[in-house]
């Protein structure tokens, strides 16, 4: 790849836009399923390109830690994508049926006391456990990835800010705040990748 930094930066931008569009289309029933599939296919490809940009950044600045954390990021991304797309086929999750959920929404407060809510509670507990486990794993990686970025803070602009924000997002990912912080961190990571592109990929006129 001739310009891995610029490709990584633009891939990151497209990834953020796709995530924003998914948040809109997922509430539109005819487009919900299609948008999830499209995002599930494109996001890992774009994510790998982003991490490859950081692999090359680590190699340029002789940071083995950044290279290692970027490769781990690719592995986690692939595993998460497989879980996102095919997890329901291999994990027996008791998802409440539409009829069951419809009955709950149509019941009065008094009737709800006599309705069996165990399937709903079981489903919510499993979702909470899955969210907690995934958030902890991704959070630990974000913290280590942020530390790796801090190690090159004196060598390239925006690495310090991106690193600090990644550490904060990783530490708060399980309480949802991290998902907001990580978007801000992504903006500075994009700036970092564009800066790397400017320094190493732009041909200087003689």
pLDDT in tens, 83-105: 777 765 555 555 544 554 455 55
What is the structure's pLDDT at 112?
A: 46
pTM: 0.80
Read off the pLDDT of residues 31-67 as tens digits, 9 standing for 90 and up: 677 777 788 889 999 999 999 999 999 999 999 999 9
What is the structure's pLDDT at 26?
A: 72
User: What distance in Å separates the CA atoms of residue 32 and residue 27, rounded to the nearest whole number?
Assistant: 6
Residues in CB range of 197: below 8 A, 6 or more apart:
3, 5, 6, 9
Decide: 163 and 149 in contact? Cβ < 8 Å: yes
User: What distance in Å separates the CA atoms of residue 81 and residue 173, rounded to the nearest whole number?
Assistant: 18
CA angle at 96 for the pair 86 and 19, rounded to the nearest 5°: 45
Q: What is the CB-side half-sphere exposure of residue 34 using CA atoms within 13 A?
A: 5
User: What distance in Å separates the CA atoms of residue 170 and residue 188, rounded to the nearest whole number?
Assistant: 16
Other Cβ atoms within 10 Å of 74 Cβ, number:
18
Task: Find tokens 């940071």 and name the residue.
Answer: 63
> Concatenated DSSP letters for 14-47?
HHHHHHHHHHHHTTSHHHHHHHHHHHHHHHHHHH
Tokens at 8, concatenated = 């990584």
Task: Find tokens 């924000």 and name the residue.
Answer: 165
Which range scores top for mean pLDDT: 26-30, 116-120, 186-190? 186-190
Percent pLDDT > 70 in the chain is 78
Cα Rg of the chain (Å, integer):
21
Percent pLDDT > 90 in the chain is 53
């Amino acid at each position: 790849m001739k310009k891995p930094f610029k490709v990584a930066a633009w891939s990151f931008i497209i990834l953020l836009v796709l995530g924003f569009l998914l948040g809109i289309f997922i509430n539109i029933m005819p487009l919900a399923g299609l948008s999830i599939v499209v995002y599930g296919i494109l996001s890992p490809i774009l994510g790998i390109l982003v991490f490859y940009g950081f692999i090359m950044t680590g190699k340029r600045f002789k940071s083995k830690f950044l290279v290692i954390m970027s490769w781990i990021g690719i592995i986690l991304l692939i595993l998460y994508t497989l879980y996102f797309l095919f997890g329901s086929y291999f994990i027996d999750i008791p998802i409440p049926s539409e009829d069951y959920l419809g009955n709950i929404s149509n019941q009065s407060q008094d009737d709800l006391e006599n309705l069996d809510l165990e399937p709903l509670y079981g489903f919510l507990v499993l979702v909470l456990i899955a969210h907690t486990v995934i958030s902890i794993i991704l959070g630990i990686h974000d913290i280590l990835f942020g530390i790796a970025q801090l190690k090159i803070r004196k060598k390239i602009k925006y690495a310090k800010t991106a690193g600090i924000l990644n550490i904060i997002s990783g530490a708060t990912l399980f309480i949802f705040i991290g998902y907001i912080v990580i978007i801000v961190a992504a903006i500075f990571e994009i700036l970092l990748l564009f800066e790397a592109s400017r320094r190493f990929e732009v041909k200087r006129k003689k």
